[in-house]
Copies of this chain bind each other. A is one copy, B any other.
Amino acid sequence: MPTKWLSKPQQQAWRAYIDSVRLLQDALDAQLQADAGMPHAYYEILVRLSEAPGRRLRMAELATGTQSSRSRVSHAVTRLEQRGWIRREPCESDRRGQNALLTDEGFAALAAAAPGHVATVRATVVDVLSAAQLRALADASCAIAAAVRASAEHDGRE
């Protein structure tokens, strides 16, 4: 099957999108690294844990919750454990499992980092889009996420 290339407007849209994504991610990482000493991915891990009952989650849940690989989470938790922000504990019901548990220090670090992060998110995304634009962005994002998951499944099952 011959490749169906992108039309001009499609290509422009794609580039605008992917460029903005790179800029935004770098900005988020830079802000959190400078002000809170952690990359954005780590911040998201702390957020998930802080919202979980008992501030603890199975490693796999943490991975799916943050759209990450198990390996990534495993390494990240190791790092966060070294800083005293997370503890590991064995899982009751499944002896293969581990829970990651947010410590009080971790919660404090998250609480300290949150205002600056939210300010950045507002300054770069939420406050520069109209409500309708933000909704449209969310809709498109859901469609994209679903498509990525679908195509990953496709690849997996052959």
Decide yes or no whether A96 CB sits under 8 A from chain B: no
Say yes or no: A147 contacts B123, CB within 8 Å: yes
A75 to chain B: closest CB distance in Å? 15
Where the two chains meet, the residues of A that have a C-beta atom closer than 8 Å to any C-beta of B are 3-6, 9-10, 12-14, 16-27, 44, 66-69, 114-115, 118-126, 128-129, 131, 133-149, 151-152
> Which residues of B have CB within 8 Å of A14?
121, 125-126
A44 to chain B: closest CB distance in Å? 8
Say yes or no: B148 contacts A24, CB within 8 Å: yes
Most buried by B among A69, A123, A128: A128
> Which residues of B have CB within 8 Å of A26?
67, 69
> Which residues of B have CB within 8 Å of A3?
114-115, 118-119
